[in-house]
Amino acid sequence: MQNQLTFQFISEPGDVNYGGKVHGGAVMKWIDQAGYACATSWAEGYCVTLYVGGIRFFKPIHIGDLVKVVSRVIYTGRTSIHISCDVFSRPITGHKFIKTTHCVIVFVAVGEDGKPRPSKSWEPHTDHEIALETYAKRLMELRKDIEVEMKPFLEDYF
């Protein structure tokens, strides 16, 4: 089973922000779509977004650029699927893609009853995949600290 999925398309004038570049919200939408497609393909069923974290914009994307969104499974828990999403762009007449954005999204496989269901496990095989899994586990630990910090501000909601 393949653990990676890639979208490619041309950025459009409707994606423009006030500065004339692609709007960050458009990039976030593309990341969510590619991440969802990767997670649901891996889980062979419906998934919901549990967490989007550490989104980092490195470089702007220009209108008319060729955009590539690469999403890959980097860790699985019992019901969770951690997806790394990297966005690249290049001028349509260019040859080299440049990384513009990165983030990790955690999805949960959900059954027809709306409750979390087990997802198949992913095992890293290459040194790069082992490093990505280690990265995902470290982010999980950091999120626990963030949740502790946020708790006083979320009590009205949970």
pLDDT digits (tens, 9 = 90+) for 27-68: 999 999 999 999 999 999 999 999 997 899 999 999 999 999
Assign 142 to helix, strand or coil.
helix
Indicate the helix (H) or strand (E) that contains 44.
none
145 pLDDT tier (thresholds 50, 70, 90) = confident
pLDDT given for residue 158 in this prediction: 53
The model's pTM:
0.90
Residue 99 has pLDDT above 80, yes or no: yes
Report whether 67 contacts 153 (CB < 8 A): no
Tell me how long the chain is.
Answer: 158
Angle at 116 between CA 112 and CA 121, to 5 degrees: 110
pLDDT average, residue stretch 86-99: 96
Instruction: Look over the chain and give the mean of its residue pLDDT values, rounded to a whole number.
Output: 93
**Any idea which residue has 């969802």 for tokens?**
36
**b/e per residue 113-146 (b: at least 16 CB within 10 A):** eeebbebeebebeeeebeebbeebeebbeebeee
Topology of domain 4-123, per CATH?
Thiol Ester Dehydrase; Chain A (3.10.129)
Report whether 112 contacts 118 (CB < 8 A): no
